A = this chain, B = another copy of it.
Amino acid sequence: MTADDPHEISRRGLMLVLSSPSGAGKTTISREILSRDANLHMSVSATTRPKRPGEVEGRDYFFTAEEDFHLMANRRELLEHATVFGHLYGTPRKPVEEALAAGRDVLFDIDWQGTQQLREAARADLVSVFILPPSVPELERRLKSRAQDSAEVVARRMAQASDEMSHWPEYDYIVVNREIAGSVAEVQAILTAERLRRERQVGLGDFVRFLREG
C-alpha cells in the first residue's frame, strides 16, 4: 500500500485441513508446504499422553491433565477431540482463534472425524483437502516400505485406508498424489486462492470506498 492509500486490506486467516489414508503422502506434503509458507503454522494439540523426551510444551503439544482436558471439552474450549490408544487429544480453540484474527493460517493433519467436528465448530474458516493415493499397488507399496510390518499389519492398514477413503465426498478439494512436487504445488495453489476469497479479505469495503471517493 502506498502513502496515497492508507487503507490496508488485512486478511482473516484460514484453517487448512489435510486428510488422507495413511500412506497417501500427507505427512510429506504437510512438511513441504509448512517449510515454504511462513504464514502457515501447524496446529498444536492438547493431549493427556505423557511428555516424551525432547518434546516441548506448546510446540509439540499442550500437555494436559485428564481432569483439565475434560473441563476444556465441557466448556467447549476444544474445536475437536478424540481418544487414541487410551489418550485424549484435542485442538484448543483459543490459539486457533487468535491466529485467524491475526491473519495467520493454521494447518491441521487430522482424520475425517476430526474434520467433521472442525466443520461444525468453524465452517466459514475451514478449507478441507483430501489426498488420495494414485493406485492400490502404490498405496500397498508405500505402506509396506514404511516398516518391516507383518502381512497382517499391512492388511489392517489397507482396510483402515479403505475406510478413511470413503469420506472423500465430505471435502472441498481432492488431490490425487501422483508425485509429491505436483501435489505440493496444488495444495499451495489452494492456499493462495482461498486467501483471495472475498470474505477473507477484511477491510475491502473501506478500501473500495476510498478508491471510489478518489
Contacts and interface: CB of A to CB of B under 8 A. Distances in A.
Interface of A: 1-2, 4-5, 9, 130, 132-139, 158, 162, 165-166, 168-169, 171-176, 185-186, 188-190, 192-194, 196-198, 201, 204-205, 207-208, 210-212, 214
A173 B158 contact: no
A169 B206 CA distance: 12
Given A132-B211, A208-B168, A214-B162, A186 B175 contact: no
A127 to B, nearest CB: 9
Contact of A137 (B4, B130, B176, B204): B4
B198 A168 contact: yes
Q: Say how many copies of this protein the assembly contains.
A: 2
Contacts of A210: 136
Given A135-B4, A189-B189, A208 B165 contact: yes
Nearest to A127: B193
A30 B103 CA distance: 29
